[in-house]
Amino acid sequence: MSNASISDNIAKLLKRVRLAAKKSQRNPDEICIVAASKTRSPEAIRTAYQSGLHNFGENYLQEALIKIEALTDLPLIWHFIGPIQSNKTRPIVENFDWVHSVDRLKIARRLSEQRPEHLATLQICLQVNISGEASKSGVNPEDLPHLAREVLPLPNIRLRGLMAIPEASPEEEQQLHAFQHMRELMTALQVFAPNLDTLSMGMSADLEPAIAQGSNLIRIGTDIFGPRNR
């Protein structure tokens, strides 16, 4: 995709976010776009940055490390949004600012123990398997409070909130229901963890219902970079 197309897509996306925020009586400045840049080139990421985006999300560690190295001249904020293998935690904590996909205590402990002292506290979200899909990572909703209590006191990481990838559906009502459930889970956690402030949910196809239910990190790939080459 050309640089102009990426810039045009970002302009359209920002307008779409503003409209969704206005409809939900929210401040659009509270909604951060994380450009989901897996399989995209460093050049495409550079264009997205020049068009106003600063946050980029990667699913595959080895691919991400190549891009992070190629773009060290830019002040980018890197989010790891893919499944985490326990033997990959060290390079994740050494190179990323956020991790959205923590779904078990073992991973959280390794992130905490391995975060280099010279880096700022790692920001993390707990991934919830909100639709109960066998193919998806994530903690079950009923196990979430226990996991959150275990993660909260760990040093070098800060639990910010929750992330989910609901089952894809063309029905906005079904999308809305999943995001509403996430909001309710967050509200329940805030009883004992009042500083939680982040819901990472919503992608190109469902950002409006996600914003309506309080998402403040939306992960957008296709609507920025176009369809992926397969």
> What share of the chain in percent tops pLDDT 70?
99
Give the tens place of pLDDT for each residue, 129-140. Answer: 998 777 788 999
Q: Which domains, and CATH codes, for the chain?
A: 3-225 (3.20.20.10)
Q: How far apart are CA 140 and CA 124, in angstroms?
A: 17
In this prediction, residues 159-173 reach a mean pLDDT of: 88
Q: 23-37, 68-82, 109-123, 170-184: lowest mean pLDDT where?
A: 170-184
What's the pTM value of the predicted model, to 2 decimals?
0.95
Query: How confident is the model at residue 229, as a pLDDT?
Result: 67
